[in-house]
Amino acid sequence: MKEYHIFSHPSGEHEAVKQGWSWPAFFFGFIWAFVKKMWQIGLGVILGFMALGMFLDLSNGQTENDVILNILSLLVAVVFGLNGNRWRVRNLTSRGYEMKMTLISENPEMAIAEYIKEQGR
């Protein structure tokens, strides 16, 4: 069981955001950011890696460049895992969603269903 914050939009849409570590953000990084409509974060990571790649390409040591990029990729993945759900909360709030309640549930779909059931009472 995990803790979820339930967000509601005036249009009637609901989103559930798990608290804590985000495995999807850790494994999929900028792709996850794009799927969750966090364009600035996803584009920032892509542009940052492109700029770093061009900078490192100008230097000579290919093996050293690969090591640097691998270490940086791992660090970025950890940052995404640690902050992904926090970034998502901030993004939903900026898009007009409002946090309604916190629930403990097995998955996001069940958390939203429990919230809707609570609202119907």
pLDDT in tens, 11-38: 999 999 999 999 999 999 999 999 999 9
Task: Tell me the C-alpha distance between 43 and 121, whole Å.
Answer: 43
- How many C-beta atoms surround the C-beta of residue 110 within 10 A? 14
Question: Please, which pLDDT band fits residue 64 given cuts at 50, 70 and 90?
Answer: confident
Average pLDDT over residues 39-54: 92
| Prediction pTM value | 0.87
Residues of the domain holding 42: 2-120
Does residue 41 carry a pLDDT above 70? yes
Instruction: Identify the pLDDT of residue 55.
Output: 82
Structurally, the chain folds into a number of domains equal to: 1
Is pLDDT of 90 > 90? Answer: yes
Which of 16, 13, 49, 46 lies closest to 32 in space, CA to CA?
46
Beta-strand runs (E) in 19-105: 98-105
